[in-house]
Each structure stands twice: as C-alpha cells, then as structure tokens.
Amino acid sequence: MTVKITTLIQVTDGQVGIHLEIDEAEMADLAEGGIAQILLSRFAVVAQNLKSELDDSGDGD
C-alpha cells in the first residue's frame, strides 16, 4: 500500500508541483504519529533537489 501526498511549493514567481509517496514500511510510523517526521525528511530532500536544479539552471529558464 502506498499513500500519495501531493503538495505545492512556491518558487519565486513560479510554482513547482511536488509529489511525495510514503511506502508500506513507513505506514507503521504513520500509525504512531510519525507523519510529521516523514514529511519533514521528504521535504528536506525535495527542497535540496529543487535548489540544486534551480542553481544549475542559471537564469531560471
């Protein structure tokens, strides 16, 4: 079972859609209230990847 969570991150004057998935192994954490920790760790990875892509793009095209 996979829980799909979709959110939106605002980036300067544009928007980037982010799709996160929580796999079956993490479902037990959800039952124990660990959703915040899972999301925080996922957002940290997504934010770092997004920053790297934006930095690599130079002028933001």
pLDDT recorded at residue 54? 80
Tens digits of per-residue pLDDT, 6-36? 665 666 666 666 666 666 767 766 666 667 7
pLDDT recorded at residue 53? 80
pLDDT recorded at residue 3? 63
> What is the maximum alpha-carbon separation in the chain?
44
Q: How far is CA 50 from CA 8, 12, 17, 31, 60, in A?
A: 12, 12, 11, 29, 12
- The backbone torsions φ and ψ at residue 4, rounded to the nearest 5 degrees and listed phi first, read -105, 130
Per this entry, what is the length of the chain?
Answer: 61
Overall average pLDDT of the 42-60 stretch: 77
Q: How far is CA 8 from CA 21, 25, 31, 58, in A?
A: 14, 25, 25, 22
